Chains A and B, each alone.
Chain A
């Protein structure tokens, strides 16, 4: 069974500063990994996904994430935070890469990103 741990339920950064949201996963097989963003009063929107190709994945809105197998991590970064980045961010894992995935995605508990002016 997979699991996802997101370190920090709330992360606060200044506008223009580096954004780093941490995600560690547990999976017995090569994982597929996802980052989703949820803006207030909206559904979840995919930021980026890792499917065992390049370990550095670029997504929308200037975000990127790096898959590190040795650390079982998939941290999300953005060089310079904007006020519009304030939202809830979710990391998720599935075992689709090994032919599984029947039970869909397993989500972390989410990290609320606060941008200070």
Chain B
């Protein structure tokens, strides 16, 4: 089944404790992206990747890192999480930048 998977689905952590949210797609897509969703703000792009080893900042990159060492994986790293990063995070992929994106199920992160 073609899909985007994210892990974990739910995470509660404390300020300053480094964490990684994994994202993997099995559709051989070139383009991958991370969003955060907050009430009243819609989806805001954090980082995106046009291809392996090519990443770029989105609209809200502060406090986040990403890597794209393999085509299928695009992990999101929070080196020192803070409470304002409490949010619902989505990973997405598409065959071509700007085309239909396929979304993962989301990761709900709470930073205490």
Q: Please indicate the chain B residues that have their CB under 8 angstroms from the CB of A32 in the complex.
A: 98-99
- The interface residues of chain B, by DSSP majority, are classed as strand
- Tell me the count of chain B residues lying within 8 A, CB to CB, of chain A: 27
Contacts of A49 in B (CB 8 A): 100
- Tell me if A75 counts as interface (CB < 8 A to partner B): no
Q: Which of A9, A42, A95, A104 contacts B101 (CB 8 A)?
A: A104
Mark each residue of chain B from 17 to 53: 1 if its CB lies under 8 Å from any CB of chain A, else 0: 0000000000000010101000011110100101000
Indicate with 1 or 0, residue by residue over B54-77, a CB within 8 angstroms of chain A CB atoms.
Answer: 001010000000000000000000
Given the known inter-chain contacts A90-B43, A103-B48, please indicate yes or no for A42 contacting B105, CB distance below 8 A. yes
1/0 contact trace for A93-108 toward B, CB 8 Å? Answer: 0111000111111011
Whether the Cβ atoms of B97 and A45 lie closer than 8 Å is: no
Q: What chain A residues lie within 8 Å of B33 (beta carbons)? A: 104
By size class, the interface of chain A is 20 to 34
Given contacts A45-B103, A96-B96, A96-B97, contact A103 B41 (CB under 8 A): no
**Nearest Cβ in chain B — how far from A117, in angstroms?**
25
When chains A and B are docked, how far (Å) is the Cα of A11 from the Cα of B82? 34
Contacts from B to A (Cβ < 8 Å): 4, 31, 33, 35, 40-43, 45, 48, 50, 56, 58, 90, 92, 94, 96-106
Interface residues of chain A, those whose CB is within 8 Å of chain B, are 9, 32, 34, 36, 41-46, 49, 90, 94-96, 100-105, 107-110
6 interchain pairs, CB-CB under 8 A: A41-B106, A43-B105, A44-B103, A102-B50, A107-B35, A108-B42
